Amino acid sequence: MAFLRYIGKRLSFSFLVILFILLVVWFMVNEVGDPARLIIPTEASEQLYQETRIRLGLDDPLIIRLWQDLSGWLMGDFGNSLWQGVPALPLVLSRLPDTLILTFFTLSIAVPLALLLGIFSALRPNSWLDRLLTTVSLAGVSIADFWLGLMLILVLAVQFGIFPTSGSGDWRYLVLPAIALAMRPIGRLAQVARSSLVEEMRKPYVTTLRAQGMSEGKIVRRHALKNSMISVITIGGDELATFLNGAVVIETIFAWPGIGSLFIQAIERRDLPLILACVFVVALMVVLVNLLVDLAYAWIDPRASVVQRRQRLNQRLLGARPLPKGQPSFPSTTEVRTIPDEVNDRK
């Protein structure tokens, strides 16, 4: 019940955040310029310009236009695209499957590879393999995805002709944009997985398992890996939000027909309804990702409350201040499982 109340509060707060973002974007686009000037030809008469403004509702006072748009947002209506002349939200949703395909294809590469790199580094700390994998992960975080995308096109598409340069079609069109998008999450998740697993392997219960003859691989698979996943999931949720931002550029470079390329086209044409619809869908995806992260917390550590998990994660990742005097401290998610059930059973 407490978890459901927490989810309800998160949804309410997320609704307010999305509404605030839409308002900020609305004011920014309205301050940039007049969309009517982009729709009509440059040599059009003043009469045609005024008629276009009236047709688009741009002649109304700013507060009236804001109220009309706000009422439409609450009903899921963002109006018609000034560029395409069709409802904006369905147009964005029609591009959503292509973005999701690229996302899942990229994650299917990034997540397993990052975990493998992190595990190998953690099992051989300070070795030449650890240093090599750490260097690779740092390179993945440091390289700009748009530059990597251009280099992949130049080498693998133009020079060798292995993959197509742009567009959509079969799986070969996914490879280059997926590699360009996967490098940063691979490097970041590998770093977090390594540090979390190294810390977990120093816990007392791991020493107990080693003394009882359990192999390193079995310790990692059965206990340490799951216990170290809290930090990985936290950073993974943040990286997925960053990934959606990078997808805007990568989809444009590779002419991938997703929400990102549509968003850039809408900005170029100052198509306010289409821009707002794109922002709404992306913000909603980020909210859903955060909810999935919370559900993953509950699955990994069902014994600790949501508040405890959040407090301990903030302390661990951000370095929280000491608790005020008299306020009870909570055990961390890893401290709750100091000795796994299997060890207690053996005793």
Tens-place pLDDT, residues 228-247: 887 788 787 777 777 777 78
DSSP string, 56-81: HTTTS-HHHHHHHHHHHHHTT---B-
CA distance 136 to 86: 46
Domain ranges (residues) in the chain = 2-74, 89-336
The neighbour count for residue 257, using CB atoms within 10 Å, is 17
Residues β-bridged to residue 87: 80
Sign of the Cα pseudo-torsion (48, 54, 55, 56, in order):
positive
Distance, CA of 209 to CA of 199 (rounded, Å)? 16
Ramachandran class of 332: left when φ > 0, alpha when ψ lies in -120 to 50, beta otherwise? beta
At which residue do the structure tokens 């998008």 appear? 181
Tens of pLDDT, residue by residue over 7-60, are: 788 788 888 888 998 899 888 877 776 777 777 777 778 888 888 888 777 777
- In total, the chain counts a number of residues equal to 347
Q: Rounded to whole angstroms, how far apart are CA atoms 316 and 190?
A: 18
Cα atoms in the Cβ-side hemisphere of radius 13 Å centred on 227: 24
Answer whether residue 166 shows pLDDT above 80: yes
Q: What is the dihedral of CA 229, 230, 235, 240, to 10 degrees?
A: 80
Tell the residue number behind the tokens 């943040």, with chain if given.
Answer: 238
From 61-65, 231-235, 293-297, the region with the lowest mean pLDDT: 293-297
CB 268 within 8 A of CB 338: no
Under 8 Å between Cβ of 297 and 230: yes
Q: Residue 176 is encoded by which pair of tokens?
A: 């280059």
The residue behind tokens 């009903």 is 75
| φ and ψ at residue 42, rounded to 5 degrees | -65, -30
pLDDT at position 200 is 87
Residue 118 has pLDDT above 70, yes or no: yes
| 347: Cβ contacts below 8 Å, ≥ 6 apart | none
In the structure encoding, which two tokens stand for residue 200, read together? 């977990």
Q: What is the mean pLDDT of the chain?
A: 80
- Structure-token pair, residue 97: 């499957």
pTM for this prediction: 0.76
- E strands of 282-333, at which residues? none
Whole-number CA gyration radius for the chain = 25
**The CATH number of domain 89-336, selected from 1.10.10.10, 1.10.3720.10, 3.40.50.300, 3.40.190.10:** 1.10.3720.10
- Per the DSSP assignment, residues forming a β-bridge with 80 are 87
For residue range 183-227, what is the model confidence (pLDDT) as tens digits? 999 998 998 899 889 888 888 888 888 888 888 888 888 888 888
Q: Which residue has the tokens 């045609």?
A: 48
